[in-house]
């Protein structure tokens, strides 16, 4: 009996990502041939995961350097928690938190720094001190001036899907057709960004795991992430330490799990693996060291002939 391997070309194609090359202001990001890791640096007292741990400038800078050594290709710095039901932080306070860190860290690392904010004044202050990417969970819909700042500085923008705001996004989120609605959202916000002068080659999309989504919605996005290939833009995913991972593990390990980030970080890695295999170009994580190990293996598998 002979065995046919005619399915192999299709299988190999299924695990191939389109490559993108972003070039701006002295930086280059080659996405697709390998996975880029975005290291999270929260300069906040109330982040759901590590709030207060890196709230001082010295601690934040040291941690940013550590993330780069561990393999981060981007450092994402934010001064406002976007966890469910969180209150907005005034722009002046965000600037006081993030600018000293960005100013010092940008002198010590060579990878780009992204500013995680929905506020144009915060983004502009950060870009003026060394940041070079805007990561806007509001996809430039919460501050009409954000696109102007992005155009002025010629930087990439990460446009994330979020239903509502951090304060109300997790109050019974509902979709008639989850993937179609998110895809249509991206088509609209990308078109709007381009109309405002942002180059398409400077746009990255993020389906927004945990932002106005149920646990089941998150799983569907990860499973069917290749749905967004049609938009033809790099895809970022940020599942790190999210509640849906804790919820899956809680049934087996119980509430004691929540005392250990290490368990949730271990649960994050298979999510990262599936996300990359399904087309993610950038993964946003807390545990860069463990993710770097996983990514080396995943990329080797994806790139083999």
Residue appearing with tokens 């919605």: 217
Structural contact between residues 146 and 136, judged by C-beta atoms closer than 8 angstroms:
yes
Cα angle 76-77-81, degrees, rounded to a multiple of 5: 110
E strand segments, the chain: 20-24, 27-31, 36-42, 74-78, 113-116, 133-136, 157-160, 203-206, 236-237, 282-285
> Is 284 noted as a catalytic residue in this protein?
yes
Q: Is 196 a catalytic residue?
A: no
Orientation angle between helical segments 120-128 and 146-153, nearest 10 degrees: 20
Catalytic residue among 145, 229, 242, 256: 242
Query: Which of 17, 163, 213, 284 is the catalytic position?
Result: 284
Q: Which residues contact 90 (CB under 8 A, 6 or more apart)?
A: none
Q: Is 74 helix (H, G, I), strand (E, B) or coil?
A: strand
Residues 6+ apart with CB under 8 A from 35: 276, 280, 281, 282, 283, 295, 298, 299
Which active-site residues does the annotation give? Answer: 242, 284
């Amino acid at each position: 009996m002979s065995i046919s391997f005619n399915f192999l070309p299709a299988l190999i194609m299924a695990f191939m990502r389109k490559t993108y090359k972003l070039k701006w202001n002295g930086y280059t990001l080659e996405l697709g041939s390998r996975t880029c890791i975005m290291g999270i640096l929260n300069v906040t007292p109330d982040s759901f995961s590590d709030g207060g741990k890196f709230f001082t400038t010295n601690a934040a800078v040291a941690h940013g350097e550590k993330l780069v050594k561990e393999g981060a290709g981007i450092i994402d710095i934010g001064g406002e928690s976007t966890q469910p039901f969180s209150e907005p932080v005034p722009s002046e306070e965000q600037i006081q938190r993030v600018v000293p860190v960005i100013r010092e860290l940008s002198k010590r690392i060579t990878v780009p720094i992204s500013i995680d904010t929905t506020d144009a004044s915060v983004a502009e202050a950060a870009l003026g001190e060394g940041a070079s990417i805007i990561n806007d969970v509001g996809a430039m819909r919460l501050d009409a001036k954000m696109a102007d700042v992005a155009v002025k500085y010629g930087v990439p923008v990460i446009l994330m899907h979020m239903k509502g705001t951090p304060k109300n996004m997790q109050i019974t989120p509902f979709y008639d057709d989850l993937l179609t609605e998110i895809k249509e959202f991206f088509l609209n916000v990308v078109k709007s960004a381009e109309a405002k002068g942002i180059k398409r080659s400077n746009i990255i999309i993020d389906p927004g795991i945990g932002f106005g989504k149920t646990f089941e919605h998150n799983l569907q996005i990860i499973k069917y992430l290749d749905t967004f290939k049609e938009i033809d833009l790099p895809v970022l995913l940020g599942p790190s330490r999210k509640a849906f991972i804790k919820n899956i593990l809680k049934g087996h390990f119980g509430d004691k799990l929540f005392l250990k980030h290490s368990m949730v970080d271990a649960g994050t890695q298979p999510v990262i693996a599936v996300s990359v295999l399904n087309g993610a170009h950038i993964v946003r994580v807390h545990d860069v060291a463990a993710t770097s190990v996983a990514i080396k293996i995943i990329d080797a598998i994806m790139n083999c002939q």
